[in-house]
Copies of this chain bind each other. A is one copy, B any other.
Amino acid sequence: MTEAVSLPTDRARGLFVPVLTPFEADRTVSMPRFLDQCRWLLASGADGLAVFGTTSEANSLGIDEKIDLLQSLIDAGIPAARLMPGTGTCALPDTVRLTRAAVQAGCAGVLMLPPFYYKGVSDDGLFGSYDAVIQQVGDARLRIYLYHFPQLSEVPLSPALVGRLIAAHPDTVVGLKDSSGVFENTRDLLERFPGFAVFPGSEARVLEALRLGAAGCISATANVNPAGIAAVIAGWQGPEAVALQESASAVRAVFSEVPLIPALKAVMAEWLADDGWRAPRPPLLPMERTAGAALADRLAGLGVSSRRSTEA
């Protein structure tokens, strides 16, 4: 990984993947498939794993389930220093429990949604939420990456709120994933907060973001194109940067018109000839096999032909 930008050394940087969570037929998490995917992603250019993200169906996982899964990953040899689990839930006690477990396990950081049931809450209220988590976890090792995803959470994190959190907890609130899809918001955060680790939530314009000082990228489609996105981040200052971006964007575009999580799972099912990969948890529905096969065909046309071949 190149140094994408000058950041304090304790900041995460590079490509973090919100790892898909595969399930068994009884809807429990499929640990063998999950571990296999984590290992393949790390072997394919990912700098870290943002497990328990939106793409991971994290909010469809129970609190105990997430704590157990995190420990199981580490017990199986996934380095905690490469993990940035999502730990933000609606409820302060659950967020504190999961965040504490991540810190105590040695995770690089946590990606934290605001509480997202109540809508129209104030910046003061959201500041109070994050502040309470930090105080209750009470561990200097905690590194929080704020998670701004207004389309799903319906609870935006304003730049003013981000600034207040950085000012109050400069060694703890160290970065943000911007899934707004609004490039101006990413730019604004990068300009306002030098040294703050901003990760665009998509690779679609990651080259532009890197040039403005972004720390890397955290993107759903990195589950199927880790090498392609990692190449943009590694090569952003090189002569192939634009071509690498165009290549990554073309892969991303394959998923622009489909339900993203079912589509990514359907591609995994095709690539691994493992129908067990297909199903999300309710309330999401699986994509039909023919649609998944069509996506895999389009990816093959872009040179992303199977998990094994992209591993090279």
Residues of chain A having any CB pair with chain B under 8 Å: 27, 54, 59-65, 89-94, 97, 114-119, 121-122, 124-126, 128-129, 131-132, 151-155, 281-285
Which residue of the partner chain B has the closest CB to A155? B283
In the complex, the answer to whether A282 meets B59 with C-beta atoms within 8 Å is: no
In the complex, the answer to whether B62 meets A115 with C-beta atoms within 8 Å is: no
The 8 closest A-B pairs by CB, nearest first: A62-B93, A59-B117, A125-B283, A129-B282, A128-B282, A59-B90, A121-B283, A62-B94
In the complex, the answer to whether A125 meets B59 with C-beta atoms within 8 Å is: no
CB distance from A279 to the nearest CB of B (A): 10
A-B contact pairs, 17 of them (CB 8 A): A27-B132, A59-B90, A59-B115, A59-B117, A60-B117, A62-B91, A62-B92, A92-B281, A114-B283, A115-B283, A119-B151, A124-B285, A125-B282, A126-B282, A129-B282, A131-B282, A154-B154
Q: Which of B61, B97, B281 contacts A62 (CB 8 A)?
A: B97
Which residue of the partner chain B has the closest CB to A61? B91
| A129 proximity list for chain B (CB < 8 A) | 282-283
In the complex, the answer to whether A128 meets B65 with C-beta atoms within 8 Å is: no
Which residue of the partner chain B has the closest CB to A133? B282
Which residue of the partner chain B has the closest CB to A123? B283
Given contacts A116-B117, A132-B27, A152-B119, contact A125 B285 (CB under 8 A): yes
Q: Which of B60, B62, B64, B132 contacts A282 (CB 8 A)?
A: B132
Q: Which of B54, B118, B153, B282 contacts A115 (CB 8 A)?
A: B282
In the complex, the answer to whether B60 meets A63 with C-beta atoms within 8 Å is: no
Q: How far is the CA of A234 from the CA of B117 in the complex (A)?
A: 34
Q: How far is the CA of A176 from the CA of B144 in the complex (A)?
A: 39
Report which residue of A93, A116, A119, A124 has the largest number of chain B beta carbons within 10 angstroms of its beta carbon: A93
In the complex, the answer to whether B285 meets A60 with C-beta atoms within 8 Å is: no
Which residue of the partner chain B has the closest CB to A64? B93
In the complex, the answer to whether B63 meets A118 with C-beta atoms within 8 Å is: no
Q: How far is the CA of A39 from the CA of B54 in the complex (A)?
A: 41
Q: How far is the CA of A91 from the CA of B63 in the complex (A)?
A: 8
| A119 proximity list for chain B (CB < 8 A) | 151-152, 154
CB distance from A140 to the nearest CB of B (A): 21
In the complex, the answer to whether A126 meets B60 with C-beta atoms within 8 Å is: no
| A128 proximity list for chain B (CB < 8 A) | 282-283, 285
Report which residue of A54, A65, A153, A281 has the largest number of chain B beta carbons within 10 angstroms of its beta carbon: A281
